[in-house]
């Protein structure tokens, strides 16, 4: 345990009068939706990505309204990850080269990253590391989806990018009790177990309910709720949830964890569901390093 961490009793925190000082899920949900954590550009892009009648014109208008964001996206498009033969100089070229779906994901990544820029380390946890975890899981989940021949692999990237968004919501909207949660983490437990003991809810449930309020795509919402237990999920986005669960373990095991500790259990059922052997899983873990290196520009968006 680091010097900044404090061991706390796993009981809801109370004030001097004996009243629980941890806001309820309903109160936290209201705070998170009233004080919009998700940048407005991200909300607009999400609506475009989920609307089959939207396309190039709509996404181009959003990007043209934010010159700095557009420049960051163009820098990413011209990186080694996308292997462009000649430099892409404008948004029209970028959208034509990558398509609306992939451009939407880059804009989402660039706009959401702003939520994590204020650095406030708490024990083993800090926001920058959580952001790296989210990008890493998005990249790894997309890689797995491609190998499993899942057609909508860009949707899997977005689900991976946002799967742990409930953690930053806790950090921002129930900060005091969240500090206690981080202080109580230790090998052999899980984040969700400590959250339930101290908050009465966990990042999966909070993330899912806020995502519904924001009208995020169903695959993203379901992944937020079930990325630690894909076998309990029987909906139409099961492959997406399984890819993110696998990616979450790979990234956490390789040092890209959400809270600075490796607390994620091996997803044996998800591995079996994809028919993966131990050797296949090891190859995925090995290839992930190269995939993340190729997409390192996403970490700076």
Q: 194-244: per-residue pLDDT in tens? A: 999 999 999 999 999 999 988 888 999 999 999 999 999 999 999 999 999
At 149-205, the pLDDT tens digits run: 998 899 999 999 999 999 999 999 999 999 999 999 999 999 999 999 999 999 999
- For CA atoms 90, 93, 98, 102, the dihedral sign is positive
pLDDT tens for 37-89 read 678 888 888 888 777 787 788 888 888 888 888 998 999 999 888 888 899 99
Chain centroid to Cα 134, Å, comes to 4
| DSSP string of 27-42, one letter each residue | HHHHHHHHTT-S-HHH
How many angstroms separate the CA atoms of 91 and 95, rounded?
A: 6
Q: Which domains does the chain have, with CATH numbers?
A: 1-35+117-301 (1.10.3210.10), 38-115 (no CATH)
With a CB cutoff of 8 Å and minimum separation 6, the contacts of 276 are: 284
pLDDT band (50, 70, 90) for residue 19: very low
Tokens linked to 211: 């995502």
CB 111, CB 44: distance < 8 Å? no
pLDDT at res. 7:
47
Transcribe 109-155 into DSSP letters: HHHHGGGG-S---BTTB-HHHHHHHHHHHHHHHHHHHHHTT-TTHHH
Whether 33 shows a pLDDT value over 80: the answer reads no
Average pLDDT, the chain: 88
pTM of the shown model: 0.88
Reported as half-sphere exposure (CB side, CA atoms, 13 A), residue 161 has a value of 27
Q: Which of 138, 200, 205, 193 is nearest to 167 (CA)?
A: 205
The DSSP symbol for 11 reads S
Give helix 203-213 / helix 218-226 axis angle, nearest 10°.
170
Q: How far apart are CA 273 and CA 26, in angstroms?
A: 35
């Amino acid at each position: 345990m680091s010097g900044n961490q404090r061991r706390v009793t796993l009981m809801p925190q109370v004030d001097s009068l004996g009243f629980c000082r941890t806001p309820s899920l309903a109160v936290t949900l209201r705070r998170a939706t009233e004080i919009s954590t998700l940048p407005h550009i991200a909300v607009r892009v999400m609506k475009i990505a989920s609307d089959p009648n939207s396309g190039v014109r709509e996404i181009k208008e959003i990007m043209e309204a934010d010159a700095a964001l557009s420049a960051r996206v163009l820098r990413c498009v011209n990186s080694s990850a996308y292997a462009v033969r000649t430099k892409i100089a404008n948004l029209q070229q970028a959208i034509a080269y990558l398509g609306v779906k992939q451009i939407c994901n880059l804009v989402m990544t660039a706009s959401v990253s702003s939520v994590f820029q204020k650095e406030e380390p708490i024990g083993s946890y800090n926001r920058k590391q959580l952001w790296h975890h989210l990008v890493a899981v998005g990249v790894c989940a997309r890689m797995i989806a491609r190998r499993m021949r899942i057609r909508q692999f860009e949707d899997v990237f977005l689900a991976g990018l946002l799967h742990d968004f409930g953690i930053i919501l806790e950090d921002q909207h129930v900060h005091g009790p969240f500090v206690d949660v981080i202080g109580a983490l230790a090998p052999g437990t899980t984040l969700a177990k400590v959250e339930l003991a101290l908050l009465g809810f966990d990042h999966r449930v909070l993330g899912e309910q806020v995502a519904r309020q924001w009208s995020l795509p169903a695959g993203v919402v379901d992944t937020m709720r079930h990325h630690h237990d894909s076998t309990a999920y029987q909906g139409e986005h099961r492959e997406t949830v399984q890819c993110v669960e696998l990616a979450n373990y790979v990234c956490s095991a390789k040092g890209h964890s959400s809270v600075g500790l490796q607390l994620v259990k091996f997803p044996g059922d998800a591995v079996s569901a994809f028919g993966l052997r131990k050797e296949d899983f090891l190859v995925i873990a090995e290839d992930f390093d190269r995939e993340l290196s190729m997409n390192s520009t996403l970490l700076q968006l």
